[in-house]
């Protein structure tokens, strides 16, 4: 007998993450939604969880070969057609009636071929993987009933239920398909349809598959994410694996390895460390009318499954002072919002830090201006000889620290984002304006910090003409430090921006300019209804810093990398390399404001796939920085 642990319920109920966690238990093989093996995996050629097409996956190739040795395997198209027929709604009333009257299953002759193929397949999966339990997250109760009627199958059911308002909200979200499907995004449906399906499938699962504690367990999604250890132990007890070692670390997280799930939500393709959190955003962002509609349709079942008919509306994601200025707001509203942000930063970080970061100290500014005037008198220069220098990269990456250091050199004229002569709402003014600023400067260098124009740095170097060719410094910081700082300073702004880009609303946004099709596909592949601000800040780090390579800046001699961590660890070496690049003399006062220290802190709970992308890019940036240093030293 093959023990099959079946996750029943409806879509968008957390079955993918539950299956992924259970798949990390030794002796459990998470096969994914096996009912789609034939149609999606073999007919359509979609990806296995390991990242290659199911037809080319070594494990599934071996499984299908062993299944063929055990019995006749009909063509994939035939099995797919049988399973579509078995899953039709019209068959549910008869199946429910036979089950409630304790009548024997129909064992329809028309599905004999399907039962034979299923029995051979699951036995082959257990044999090839050496698993005690095969986990199937197909969810449909009708398919579970077919498995129960299949010879050689010992079926155990976890009936996973999620609050229908949360499921309905998730069904409305736009989620990219990344498994090779012909369509670009998963199916979306409105609250009426999703709730009717919630009623039908959950009532059917309870009526058709329930009734025996030894073979059926009902589990709420909210209880699972609230106490995953207890939930997983209860599930393993259902299949006689009470002695199994759980996959959780000391902080309750799980590290997901690449798997061989054959079909399902595209989240199955992600791996790496995850932290389980309830997605309750529907309580704030779901329209009240939709919540009332869902509550009314699901009312007969809500109390039975432990949910209140009147769901609480929690202010989990209220608008904050960090949020972007809504479109259409004029200058007065923008000023008020900016003032509120600065007051918040002053309270949370201290007035001294705010003064330092925004360069508001009048004494310091007067002293710097005096030194620059003295330098101009002592070093008279004709107009038009200044070198334009652009500090670019990503916000919260140490660019202020770097700019303050170079501003200590009197031969620099500095224009930061708050300088209205060079910037308009943090964006550089037209190239002709920038060129005019450089042309009329009597300094040796004219420095700009156009972080929101980093995607244009190659164009700036070519279009801002000067007798002394320009240079650019791309500053970067480790992803955890940058994400932590960005969330502290700007809240969920990166999350809102990425969600807009994924929804196709990024045409006029600087954050979306010059991104490749591959990068846009990655952005569209995430669910921004469930993403945390920390993960969004890390993904935005990957998007913006990836431009350094996508624009070919690593191949240009007039662009250099600067590491925030490198400047902290060894200020003299970091600033010395920048001075050599610009052709200026290094002086200790350029790093007097930098206290050498170790910037390392605990890693943030970032989505595993985002973490993997960032780790790869970090390694590439660090390797390029080392090559640049070695090349200049030689």
| pLDDT value of position 88 | 76
The answer to whether residue 369 is domain-embedded is yes
| Domains in the chain, number | 2
Q: Tell me, yes or no, whether 260 and 386 share the same domain.
A: no
| pLDDT value of position 197 | 95
CA dihedral 485, 487, 488, 490 (to 10 degrees): 110
- Asked whether the predicted pLDDT for residue 221 surpasses 50, the reply is yes
Which of 278, 298, 326 is where one domain is finished?
278
% of the chain with per-residue pLDDT over 70: 87
| pLDDT value of position 314 | 47
Q: Nearest to residue 18, comparing CAs of 222, 201, 185? A: 222
- Asked whether the predicted pLDDT for residue 325 surpasses 60, the reply is no
Q: How confident is the model at residue 3 (pLDDT cuts 50, 70, 90)?
A: very high
| pLDDT value of position 613 | 94
Q: Tell me, yes or no, whether 412 and 269 share the same domain.
A: no
Average pLDDT of 508-515?
91
Q: Tell me, yes or no, whether 374 and 270 share the same domain.
A: no
| pLDDT value of position 167 | 95
- Asked whether the predicted pLDDT for residue 573 surpasses 70, the reply is yes
Question: Structural domain of residue 475, as residue ranges?
Answer: 359-633
Average pLDDT of 493-507?
86
- Asked whether the predicted pLDDT for residue 506 surpasses 60, the reply is yes
- Asked whether the predicted pLDDT for residue 445 surpasses 50, the reply is yes
Q: Tell me, yes or no, whether 249 and 377 share the same domain.
A: no
Assigned token pair, 40: 């999606």
Average pLDDT of 121-149?
95
For the ranges 247-251, 266-270, 545-549, the maximum mean pLDDT occurs at: 545-549
Q: Tell me, yes or no, whether 249 and 367 share the same domain.
A: no
Assigned token pair, 59: 């494990």
The answer to whether residue 286 is domain-embedded is no
The answer to whether residue 284 is domain-embedded is no
Phi-psi region of 240 (alpha: psi -120 to 50; beta: other; left: phi over 0): left
Q: Give me the residue label for tokens 């012909």.
A: 182
- Asked whether the predicted pLDDT for residue 381 surpasses 50, the reply is yes
| pLDDT value of position 542 | 97
- Asked whether the predicted pLDDT for residue 379 surpasses 60, the reply is yes
Q: How confident is the model at residue 575 (pLDDT cuts 50, 70, 90)?
A: very high
Residues 6+ apart with CB under 8 A from 106: 94, 95, 98, 149
| pLDDT value of position 421 | 93
Query: What integer best gives the mean pLDDT of the chain?
Result: 87
- Asked whether the predicted pLDDT for residue 107 surpasses 60, the reply is no
- Asked whether the predicted pLDDT for residue 517 surpasses 80, the reply is yes
| pLDDT value of position 101 | 55
- Asked whether the predicted pLDDT for residue 91 surpasses 80, the reply is no
Q: Tell me, yes or no, whether 420 and 564 share the same domain.
A: yes
| pLDDT value of position 70 | 85
Q: Tell me, yes or no, whether 248 and 384 share the same domain.
A: no
Contact criterion met (CB below 8 Å) for 264 and 137 = yes
| pLDDT value of position 600 | 54
Of the candidate ranges 108-112, 262-266, 270-274, 593-597, the one whose mean pLDDT is the lowest? 108-112
Encode pLDDT of 30-52 as tens digits: 999 999 999 999 999 999 999 99
Q: How confident is the model at residue 328 (pLDDT cuts 50, 70, 90)?
A: very low
Q: Tell me, yes or no, whether 385 and 252 share the same domain.
A: no
- Asked whether the predicted pLDDT for residue 330 surpasses 60, the reply is no
The residue among 502 and 549 whose pLDDT is bigger is: 549
Q: Write down the number of H helices and E strands in the chain.
A: 25, 14
Contact criterion met (CB below 8 Å) for 199 and 337 = no
Which of 230, 245, 278 is where one domain is finished?
278
The answer to whether residue 336 is domain-embedded is no
| CA distance readout (Å), 30 to 17, 245, 406 | 11, 16, 56
The residue among 353 and 87 whose pLDDT is bigger is: 87
The answer to whether residue 310 is domain-embedded is no
For the ranges 281-290, 485-494, 509-518, the maximum mean pLDDT occurs at: 509-518
Taking the chain, what is the end-to-end CA distance rounded to the nearest angstrom?
A: 69
Encode pLDDT of 234-257 as tens digits: 999 999 999 999 999 877 789 999
pTM exceeds 0.75, yes or no: no
Q: How confident is the model at residue 321 (pLDDT cuts 50, 70, 90)?
A: very low
| CA distance readout (Å), 329 to 333, 336, 566 | 6, 11, 41
Average pLDDT of 373-395?
92
The total of other beta-carbon atoms located within 10 Å of residue 381's CB is 14
Average pLDDT of 444-473?
94
Q: Tell me, yes or no, whether 375 and 264 share the same domain.
A: no
Q: How confident is the model at residue 99 (pLDDT cuts 50, 70, 90)?
A: low
The answer to whether residue 346 is domain-embedded is no
Q: Tell me, yes or no, whether 262 and 404 share the same domain.
A: no
Q: How confident is the model at residue 228 (pLDDT cuts 50, 70, 90)?
A: very high
The answer to whether residue 20 is domain-embedded is yes
- Give φ, ψ of 129 to 5 degrees: -85, -15
The answer to whether residue 292 is domain-embedded is no
Phi-psi region of 117 (alpha: psi -120 to 50; beta: other; left: phi over 0): alpha
CA dihedral 318, 320, 325, 330 (to 10 degrees): 100
| pLDDT value of position 331 | 56
Q: CA-CA distance, 96 to 209, in Å (whole number)?
A: 9
Q: CA-CA distance, 321 to 50, in Å (whole number)?
A: 42
CATH number at residue 436: 3.40.50
Q: Tell me, yes or no, whether 22 and 171 share the same domain.
A: yes
Q: Tell me, yes or no, whether 78 and 186 share the same domain.
A: yes
- Asked whether the predicted pLDDT for residue 360 surpasses 60, the reply is no
- Asked whether the predicted pLDDT for residue 260 surpasses 90, the reply is yes
CATH number at residue 252: 3.40.50.300
Q: Residue length, the chain?
A: 634
Q: How confident is the model at residue 105 (pLDDT cuts 50, 70, 90)?
A: low
The secondary element (H helix, E strand) that includes residue 387 is: strand 387-393
Which of 256, 278, 300 is where one domain is finished?
278
Encode pLDDT of 4-40 as tens digits: 999 999 999 999 999 999 999 999 999 999 999 999 9
Q: How confident is the model at residue 320 (pLDDT cuts 50, 70, 90)?
A: very low
Encode pLDDT of 183-196 as tens digits: 888 899 999 999 99
């Amino acid at each position: 007998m093959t023990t099959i642990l079946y996750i029943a319920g409806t879509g968008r109920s957390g079955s993918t993450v539950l299956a992924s966690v259970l798949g990390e238990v030794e002796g459990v093989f998470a096969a994914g939604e096996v009912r789609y093996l034939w149609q999606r995996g073999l007919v359509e050629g979609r990806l296995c969880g390991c990242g290659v097409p199911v037809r080319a996956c070594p494990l599934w190739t071996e499984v299908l070969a062993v299944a063929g040795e055990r019995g006749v395997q009909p063509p994939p198209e035939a099995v797919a057609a049988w399973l579509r027929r078995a899953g039709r709604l019209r068959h549910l009333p008869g199946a429910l009636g036979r089950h409630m009257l304790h009548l024997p299953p129909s064992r329809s002759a028309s599905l004999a071929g399907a039962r034979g193929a299923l029995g051979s397949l699951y036995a082959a999966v257990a044999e090839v993987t050496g698993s005690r339990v095969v986990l199937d997250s197909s969810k449909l109760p009708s398919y579970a009933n077919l498995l129960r009627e299949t010879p050689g199958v010992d079926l155990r059911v976890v009936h996973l239920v999620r609050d229908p308002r949360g499921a309905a909200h998730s069904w409305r979200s736009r989620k990219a398909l990344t498994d090779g499907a012909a369509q670009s995004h998963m199916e979306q449906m409105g609250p009426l349809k999703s709730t009717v399906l919630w009623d039908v499938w959950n009532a059917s699962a309870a009526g058709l598959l329930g009734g025996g504690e030894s073979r059926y367990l009902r589990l709420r999604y909210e209880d699972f994410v609230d106490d995953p250890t207890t939930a997983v132990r209860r599930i393993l007890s259902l299949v006689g694996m009470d002695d199994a070692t759980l996959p959780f670390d000391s902080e309750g997280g799980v590290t997901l390895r690449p798997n061989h799930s054959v079909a399902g939500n595209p989240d199955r393709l992600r791996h790496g460390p995850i932290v389980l959190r309830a997605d309750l955003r529907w309580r704030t962002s779901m329209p009240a009318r939709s919540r009332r509609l869902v509550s009314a349709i699901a009312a007969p079942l809500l109390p039975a499954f432990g949910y209140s008919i009147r769901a609480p509306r929690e202010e989990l994601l209220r608008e904050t002072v960090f949020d972007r200025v809504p479109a259409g707001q004029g200058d007065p509203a923008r000023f008020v919002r900016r003032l509120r942000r600065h007051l918040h930063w002053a309270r949370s970080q201290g007035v001294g830090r705010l003064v330092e970061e925004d360069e508001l100290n009048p004494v310091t500014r007067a002293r710097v201006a005096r030194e620059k005037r003295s330098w101009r008198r002592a070093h008279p220069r004709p107009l038009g000889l200044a070198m334009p220098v652009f500090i670019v990269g990503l916000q919260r990456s140490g660019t202020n620290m770097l700019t303050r250091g170079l501003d200590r050199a009197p031969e620099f004229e500095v224009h930061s984002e708050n300088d209205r002569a060079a910037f308009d709402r943090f964006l550089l003014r037209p190239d002709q304006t920038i060129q005019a600023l450089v042309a009329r400067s009597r300094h040796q260098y004219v420095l700009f910090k156009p972080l929101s124009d980093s995607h244009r740095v190659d164009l700036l170097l070519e279009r801002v003409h000067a007798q002394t060719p320009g240079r650019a410094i791309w500053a970067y910081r480790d992803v955890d430090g940058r994400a932590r700082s960005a969330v502290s300073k700007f809240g969920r702004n990166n999350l809102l921006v990425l969600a807009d880009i994924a929804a196709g609303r990024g045409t006029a946004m600087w954050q979306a300019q010059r991104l490749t099709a591959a990068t846009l596909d990655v952005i569209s592949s995430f669910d921004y209804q469930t993403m945390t601000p920390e993960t969004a800040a890390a993904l935005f780090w990957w998007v913006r810093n990836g431009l350094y390579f996508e624009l070919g800046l690593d191949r240009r001699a007039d662009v250099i990398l600067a590491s925030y961590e490198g400047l902290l660890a060894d200020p003299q070496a970091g600033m010395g390399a920048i001075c050599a690049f610009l052709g200026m003399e290094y002086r200790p006062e350029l790093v007097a404001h930098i206290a050498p220290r170790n910037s390392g802190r605990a890693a943030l709970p970032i989505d595993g796939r985002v973490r993997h992308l960032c780790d790869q890019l970090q390694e590439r940036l660090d390797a390029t920085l080392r090559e640049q240093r070695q090349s200049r030293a030689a």
